[in-house]
Every structure is written in structure tokens, then in C-alpha cells.
Amino acid sequence: MKRYNPLVILILIALMLSGCTTTQKTYSFSHNSNVIKGMVSDIPDKNEISKILKNGLQSIQVGKYEEAIELFNKGLRLDPSNGYLHFLNAFSYHLISQSGNTKMRNRTNRIHYSIEI
């Protein structure tokens, strides 16, 4: 039976364990982000959905997430298959949860509960 050098075994174990570590990335979002300003300016006012997208993004930019959700929901009633509206609506809910708005969090819990029944 062949014996392995204990140093080699320790190095292999250390390499395996170092590959298992996770790094948590932190992303920050600023309401006054130039990204949102650019997105808003790129949306043409050609139809009702475009206007809703533009107004919703402007609401997000100033921190009015509930207003943005109302706008995106209005747009989803007009165009339920619009992926941009679905994404921005979910993003608005995410921003509310990040801001610590417990009133909206309780509201979403009631909605979730009523859907499960």
C-alpha cells in the first residue's frame, strides 16, 4: 500500500475547502441613479404602456414605490404579458421590502394568504 505525504494531503484538503467558501456580493441602489434617468429618457411616449413605464420609473427614482406598483399593476391590466411591467412591479416590491416598509409588507402577506386559500 502506497503512503502519501501528509503535507500533500493537507494541501489538497485546504484547496478543496477554499473552493467551498462563498462570498457575498453587496449591491447598492440609488434612487438618483443615472441608470434610471437614462431609462426614463429612452422610453418614447408612443402609447399608454410606455407612459406607464416612464411614470413608474420616475416614481421609483423618487422613492414612491407604492405609487410605482399601482402604475405597473394598471399597465399589467392593459398588457398582462409585458415582461418589463412584471419585472418592474416585482422590483418595486423588492425595494419596499429593502426600505423596511412594514405596512406594505403586511399588505403583501395578506394578499399572499388570500391567494393560498
Distances from the Cα of 52 to the Cαs of 27, 62, 70, 78, in angstroms?
A: 27, 16, 10, 10
**Mean pLDDT in the chain?**
76
Model pLDDT, residue 45: 78
CATH number for the domain that contains residue 58:
1.25.40
- pLDDT by residue (tens digit) across 47-67? 999 999 999 999 998 889 999
The pLDDT of residue 21 is above 70: no
Average pLDDT of the segment spanning 25-52:
71
First to last CA, the chain: 64
Q: Which domain holds residue 42?
A: 33-106
Q: Is residue 28 part of a domain?
A: no
The whole model's pTM is what?
A: 0.60
Domain contains 70: yes
C-alpha cell at 107: 399588505
pLDDT, tens digit, for every residue of 64-96? 999 999 999 999 999 999 998 999 999 999 999
